[in-house]
């Protein structure tokens, strides 16, 4: 068994724990740096009443707490399922070096999770979305963006 397979089995074990302890859906994730597991997460949507508590988001938050920054450079993410758009977005903001996944988004759809639908919606024009998205007060909000752009002591992220 390769190291990568060994780490993925840990993520899959977390996905099993998630449903056996009724914490959420069958999803687990671990984050590895220098061949060492630095964070774990499993789906906690049900136990936390939190629709954002997917395994990857939970693991990324734990990993960032562990390393003390909002970036996961040189880290590897092992997820028991292909990340949904929310989790993939979180991964891009966290910037790990690589992502491994086991079940696919189609596998997730086949047991009732809407990942595929959400991927389709991402590419839809705003006027064709299932949840309406409406622009409002842009000129007012642009002033705060200009204030950020002009801010001298800001931390870029």
- Please state the closest distance from residue 109 (CB atom) to a second copy, in A: 11
- Within 99-138, the residues that bind a second copy by CB under 8 A are 99-104, 107-108, 110-112, 114, 117-119, 121-123, 131-138
- Please state the closest distance from residue 152 (CB atom) to a second copy, in A: 12
Q: Does 92 bind a second copy (CB under 8 A)?
A: yes
User: Contacts with a second copy: how many residues (CB under 8 A)?
Assistant: 88
Give the pair of three-digit tokens for residue 98. Answer: 């690589």
154 phi and psi angles, rounded to 5 deg:
-80, 150
- Within 20-59, the residues that bind a second copy by CB under 8 A are 22, 24-26, 45-46, 48-52, 57
- Please state the closest distance from residue 27 (CB atom) to a second copy, in A: 9
Q: Give dist(CA 102, CA 91) in Å, integer.
A: 16
The question of whether 56 is a catalytic residue gets the answer yes
Cβ contacts of residue 37 below 8 Å, gap of 6+? 7, 10, 30, 31
CA-based end-to-end distance of the chain: 38
Distances (CA, A) of 138 to 69, 82, 96: 32, 35, 33
Nearer to a second copy by Cβ, of 9 and 37: the residue is: 9
Nearer to a second copy by Cβ, of 34 and 147: the residue is: 147
Catalytic residues: 56
């Amino acid at each position: 068994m390769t190291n990568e397979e060994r780490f993925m089995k840990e993520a899959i074990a977390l996905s099993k724990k998630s449903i056996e302890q009724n914490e959420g859906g069958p999803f687990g994730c671990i984050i590895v740096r220098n061949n060492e597991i630095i964070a774990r997460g499993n789906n906690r949507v049900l136990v936390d009443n939190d629709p954002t508590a997917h395994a990857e988001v939970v693991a990324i938050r734990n990993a960032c707490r562990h390393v003390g920054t909002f970036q996961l450079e040189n880290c590897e993410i092992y997820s028991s399922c292909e990340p949904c758009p929310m989790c993939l977005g979180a991964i891009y903001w966290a910037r790990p070096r690589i992502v491994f996944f086991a079940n696919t988004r189609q596998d997730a759809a086949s047991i009732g999770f809407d990942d595929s639908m959400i991927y389709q919606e991402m590419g839809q024009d705003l006027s064709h979305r299932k949840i309406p998205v409406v622009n409002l007060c842009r000129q007012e909000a642009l002033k705060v963006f200009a204030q950020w752009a002009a801010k001298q002591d800001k931390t870029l992220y």
